[in-house]
Every structure is written in structure tokens, then in C-alpha cells.
Amino acid sequence: MATESSVSPNPFEVAQRQLDEAAQVMKLDPAVHELLRWPLRELHVTLPVKMDDGTTKIFHGFRVQYNDSRGPTKGGIRYHPDETIDTVRALAAWMTWKCAVVDIPLGGAKGGIICNPKEMSQGEIERLSRAYIRQVGRILGLEKDVPAPDVYTNPQIMAWMADEYAFLKGYNEFGVITGKPLALGGSAGRGDATARGGVYCLREAGKALNIDLKGATTAIQGYGNAGTFAHKLGAEILGLKVVAVSDSKGGIYNPDGLDYEAVFAHKQETGSVIGFPGAKSITNEELLELDVTVLIPAALESVITAENADRIKAKLIAELANGPTTPDADKILHEKDAYVIPDFLCNAGGVTVSYFEMVQNAYDYYWEESLVHERLDKKMTAAFHAVHDAAKEYGVHNRMAAYIVAVSRVAEAVKLRGWV
């Protein structure tokens, strides 16, 4: 089998390879295995959008519905200049496993538009978002496929999309989009759900490994929604001592710890964590290799590879990003006893609360935030222990164990439906 080169691996090939390895361990039926290697359907769209200067710009977008054997598909929409169909396919596959591993009755999907929202006005982003729904809306619906926010999309964009969908249908169907503002049927507790779910997993990992997390040194790569809330909640709930954080421009390090409020205020004011007073500048690559107890990759995919995995010193790696570790790196980390909480378990808090949002929309009654937290905690704790137990039973690393738990659930649904 080819090892990774210095070129970033194709994320969909990584997702397929992870499935192939799990299928082998599980002795999965060959027809089920082949079915689960591919999306059931995908839609490619071309979007003409009027720009503020009066010109029309053509954008390209995608929606991939990977597998709906367990229920309607679910997954975010990303706006990114480097978006590719293979990234969207991989993320749709991981969403399938993510919904299955936390045992919610949904399948996996993902969407994306090739664009750079940082170079667009709010009006241009709104027109692009509405154009996307006009094209993709035909395959969306509460019983079909439910999008949510992802990279460079937010509750306001979800509100525009929900409104455009309502206009197309002639009535409100709030549950067709999640991650909406509270005033349009959003759920309490959705904003920090991804990080909160990861923090609950970290808490359980600390107990399982007998590691005291109070005061444990922590580095966080990525300071968007997941990374900032991981800093805040990690300190509040677990007492983590965050010594390093980074964003796309670079990182900062202070062995005495970084105060969440101060770093967040600095990022809001300057647009980056770099230049934070009293902290040393470090690169994103250096942050990954710091001598810390906990490492939280919360940025983009394929940052831990065969090239740098042997230099990673963290005992606990909580993957809030999607696909931050490549298959070759997984083996190296497992051999050196680093405990990885794999992405589609660790960051499943977001889709779990999105599912709660769908439930609340369906019966038009909304829960208190404390109830959302309680139910999220229950789901994440059960999922963590299902994976931890499978790892011990099969003698495999945690990502493989998470695949075994998730794939077996999807395979059961596929067989019961008579697809194979």
C-alpha cells in the first residue's frame, strides 16, 4: 500500500482507506463494503451571482448525500476557495459514520461552494447562499436531507437559506436547515455544541486512562468556532491549562497558560491570535509538536501525517477538526500509545444538537439549554464508551474502533432494507 507523500492526500481516498481497513477487521460482507465506499448520490451545481460592482460571477457548488439507510441525510455546507468534490465526498462519508457512532437516526451528507467569503460583501454572500438553495433545494427536506453550518458559514447564512427554501415551498419548514438563529427555530446550546461534545469525550478519556485533566497542559490548533469554545469549555469544565493556540496566520505559546477572555478579545480586535501580549510566536507545525498532555486539532484535515506523527508528544489527542490525522499517522500514534479520540466521535456534538434542533422544530416546542447539555452529555458519553470498549475487544486503535461501531450500524440498516 502506498505511503503518503509530501503532497496532501486526497481526503476521499483517506476516507475509503479507513473504511477498507475496518471492513477487513470486521469481515464485512463484500457487497455491503463496496456500497459503503461510495456516495449514493451527488449534485453538482453552477451558480450565477450578481456582484456588487454589477458583474455576474459564476460559482460552482456540490451536495453529496452519502448514505440514507438510517434516516434522512445530514451535514454542513462549507464555503472555501479550495473546496473540491472529493473533500465534500469524504466529509459526507464521515458524517454517515458520525451519525451512526452517536446513534442518531440520520445518514450523512455534505455541501460546499468554491468561493472566498472573506473577499465578498454580506450582500454577495446572501445572493450566493440563496442561489445555492434554488439549485440544491430540490433534493433537500426534513425527510430527505438537512444542511447545517460548516467552514465559513454561520447562523445568518442558514437563516437566508431557510428563508429561500420557504419561498420555494410556499411555507415554513424550519427543520430543513439547522444551526439557525434562535428567532428562526434554532436550538439553545447549538453554538458551542461541537466543542462541548469533544470536552465531554475528553472527560471520559481522562477517567478511562486515569489522567487528571485539572491543570493538564493543552494546545489547540485552530481558533474558529470549535477551537475558541474548546479553550473556554476545556478550562471551565475540565480545568485544562491551555498553553498554546493558533489560527491560519500562526500561533502563540505561553507555558504559564493563556486566558480565554483575553485571547478571544485580542482575536476579535485584530483578526488573529498572533501578537497576543506576553506570548511567544510559534507556527502551526510547532504547536502540534509541543510537549503537552492534550492536543486539540480544530482546524483543517491532514495536519498530522507520517512525516510528523512520531514528533507528537501529547498523550491525549481530541480531534475537533474533520480528518486531521492520516491513516499512516494513526498507526504511528497508536504504536507510541497516544490516545486519539477520533474526529467523527469527538466532534459529533454539533450534529447531535442539530438533530435535537430538528426534533424541536418537528414538534414546535423548544428545550432549555440545560436540557440540551444534559442530553448531549448522555449521547456523547454512551458513544465514547461504545468506541473505547470496541477498541479493547478488537485490539485496535480508536479510529478503527469508531469505524467498527458506526459501520456495523449502517451495515445492519442496509441489510434490513434489502439493499444487498
Q: Quote the CATH superfamily of domain 187-420.
A: NAD(P)-binding Rossmann-like Domain (3.40.50.720)
- Tell me the whole-structure pTM to 2 decimals: 0.91
The stretch 145-168 carries a mean pLDDT of 95
The domain spans of the chain are: 41-184, 187-420
The string of pLDDT tens digits covering residues 197-207 is 999 999 999 99
Q: What is the pLDDT of residue 7?
A: 59
Angle among Cα 290, 296, 298 to the nearest 5 degrees reads: 120
pLDDT band with cut points at 50, 70 and 90 for residue 154: very high
Q: Are 74 and 107 in contact (CB under 8 A)?
A: yes
Cβ contacts of 239 within 8 Å, gap of 6 or more: 213, 214, 215, 216
C-alpha to C-alpha distance for 15 and 395, rounded to whole angstroms: 21
Interhelix angle 369-394/193-209, nearest 10 degrees: 40
Q: Which three cell numbers stand for residue 329?
A: 499517522
The string of pLDDT tens digits covering residues 213-264 is 999 999 999 998 899 999 999 999 999 999 999 999 999 999 999 999 999 9
C-alpha to C-alpha distance for 238 and 258, rounded to whole angstroms: 15
The string of pLDDT tens digits covering residues 370-395 is 999 999 999 999 999 999 999 999 99
Q: What is the pLDDT of residue 225?
A: 87
- Residue whose entry in the numeric block shows the C-alpha cell 461534545: 197
The stretch 308-322 carries a mean pLDDT of 93
Burial, 104: exposed, middle or buried (Cβ in 10 Å; 0-12, 13-18, 19+)? buried
Give the CA distances from residue 311 to residues 221, 246, 285, 294, 406, in Å, rounded to whole numbers and listed in that order.
16, 18, 11, 14, 30
44 has a pLDDT exceeding 70: yes
Burial, 291: exposed, middle or buried (Cβ in 10 Å; 0-12, 13-18, 19+)? exposed
List the CATH code of the domain at 41-184: 3.40.50.10860
Domains 41-184 and 187-420 share a fold: yes
Q: What is the DSSP letter of 325?
A: B
Q: Which residues are catalytic?
A: 110
